[in-house]
Amino acid sequence: MNGLGTLTTKLKGLSYSHKYTPPLLITGILLAAHLSFGILESYPKLITAITASFATELVLHRLIVGTWRDLSSAYISGISVGILIRSPQLWPFALCAMISIASKYVLRYKGRHIWNPSNFGVVMMLLLAPQSVAVLSIQWGNNMWAMLIIWVVGSISIYRLRRFHICATYVISFLAFALVRSWMTGDPYIAEIAPITGPMYQLFIFFMITDPKTTVQSKWGQYIVIVLIAFVEMILRINEAVYAPFYALFIVGPIAMAAELWYKDRHRDHSEVPNQHS
């Protein structure tokens, strides 16, 4: 009986943790998208991004916090960079991964990092090295079965993490604003909604806008912020910004995070002021 009890305890200790869901999901998206569309330029570039992400996370967390950190977040950032960045050279993959991870430790407000790491890294590379770097094209094949599988598996995984409402809000907002864009530009509606079926948007929807560390905590706030991101994306698209979703999140996300942190801090200070009439 003691042996059986020990075995049961060990099995309970091996129980599945939800923190493994995002890494497993992004690995699945990578495999499905690469097998269907061949999205990776090369495996060495992907390995370079992941390795740089791991190394930066380990070093900075050890230097600043003083402990070793779990690398699941760094893995997601590394894969995201490996998928999204396009360059004939290796250094942009390493640099983008390093910038992404470093942003978590350097760019903080009231103890929190307010930019999604991979979103920040990608935008910085587009701004700093536009001649050397591009981002994964939004136009890839028509294998809708592969994308349908990604969406179903991704939606179930995100639902289990209680973040599905964020994805759904963005998709609905994107489709609605695409209708506005179609009316304003005269382009066919189907052409306006086509980008959301591409691999680039799978990462954006399932990982960037749902990142628990860089989204506001209020559920109503999350709805409002996501609609604002989709709205800013629409404005950028009308003005022919190629990488509109990344720029939209880069602008709206940290402003919303900073505003919520400032409001909570201010409200806390007011609640701690003693009542003079008591």
| More confident call, 14 vs 178 | 178
pLDDT tens string 142-160: 556 666 767 777 787 788 7
DSSP type of residue 188:
-
Confidence band of 165 (pLDDT split at 50, 70, 90): very high
Residues 185, 183: Cα–Cα separation, whole Å = 6
DSSP type of residue 274:
P
**Residue type at 139 in one-letter notation:** Q
Residues 216, 263: Cα–Cα separation, whole Å = 12
Residues 151, 25: Cα–Cα separation, whole Å = 11
Confidence band of 270 (pLDDT split at 50, 70, 90): low
Element spanning 208, H or E: none
- List the structure tokens of 135: 């981002």
- List the structure tokens of 151: 């969406």
| In contact, 28 and 75? CB cutoff 8 Å | no
pLDDT tens string 190-244: 989 888 877 778 889 988 999 988 999 999 999 999 999 999 999 999 998 889 9
**Look-up: residue for tokens 């809000």?**
169
Helices (H), the chain: 2-13, 21-37, 43-64, 72-84, 91-106, 117-128, 144-160, 164-185, 189-193, 199-203, 219-238, 244-271
At residue 86, the 3 state secondary structure works out as: strand
Phi/psi at 113 (nearest 5 deg)?
A: -85, 140
Q: What percent of the chain has pLDDT over 90?
A: 52
Question: Does the structure show a pLDDT above 80 at 30?
Answer: no
Closest CA to 125 of 97, 145, 101: 97
What is the reported pTM?
Answer: 0.85
Helices 117-128 and 72-84: crossing angle in degrees, nearest 10, is 40
